[in-house]
Amino acid sequence: MNKERVITEEEFNGLLDWLAPDRDLAGDKYEAIRRRIIKILINRGCNDAEEIADEAINRVTFKLREIRQDYVGDPALYFYGVANKVHLEYLRRRRPAPVMLQPAPASDEIEQEYECLEKCMRQLPADQREMMLQYFMEDKRAKINHRKELAKRLGIALNALRIRVHRIRTILQQCVENCLEQQQAW
């Protein structure tokens, strides 16, 4: 952000004159614009909304002599446009959070998980086992259509199917975790 240059009283007065001829009305417009910019930035998840809003207002103030003669329309819209550009600059400069990569599980671990899953699936009643296998078939659009058909065959709503699958999946997950713990204890 541009911290080197400070707005002079003359520049600030020029900004207020551009916003409205009445000084009190101009002050209210200034505050409303600033609050609106901050609100927009906060809604975008920006942590430095006030700093960016102030930078945008400063930039408009610095360029006011150039834009004042030719600009037509609501000055607030100009501020919002500049604030958007400043926010984009901020996003480009901000360093991305470091990504913590987890090591890929060893093939032995995957094999153990798979064996436990098969064991747990065999423990389910046949109708639940078949529902789980059918639910996770297909990909993309075919998966959606297949799940609708499955719900229709079972005579239940799609949401009821999702709930049943979620409950069975929770049981399976607990079973697999218990199985893995038992294998590690050996």
**Which among 68, 65, 57 has a CA at the least distance from the CA of 2?**
57
pLDDT of residue 2: 52
pLDDT at 148 over 80: yes
- State how far the Cα of 158 lies from the Cα of 152, in Å rounded to an integer: 8
Percentage of residues in the chain with pLDDT exceeding 70?
94
Structure tokens at 13: 């007065």
Task: Please calculate the CA angle 96-97-102 and round it to the nearest 5 degrees.
Answer: 125
pLDDT band at residue 140, thresholds of 50, 70 and 90? confident
- State how far the Cα of 51 lies from the Cα of 9, in Å rounded to an integer: 20
pLDDT band at residue 99, thresholds of 50, 70 and 90? low
Q: Which residues lie closer than 8 Å to 19 by C-beta, 6 or more apart?
A: 25, 26, 29, 30, 33, 75
- Is residue 52 packed enough to be buried (19+ CB in 10 Å), middle (13-18) or exposed (0-12)? buried
pLDDT of residue 96: 65
pLDDT of residue 131: 93
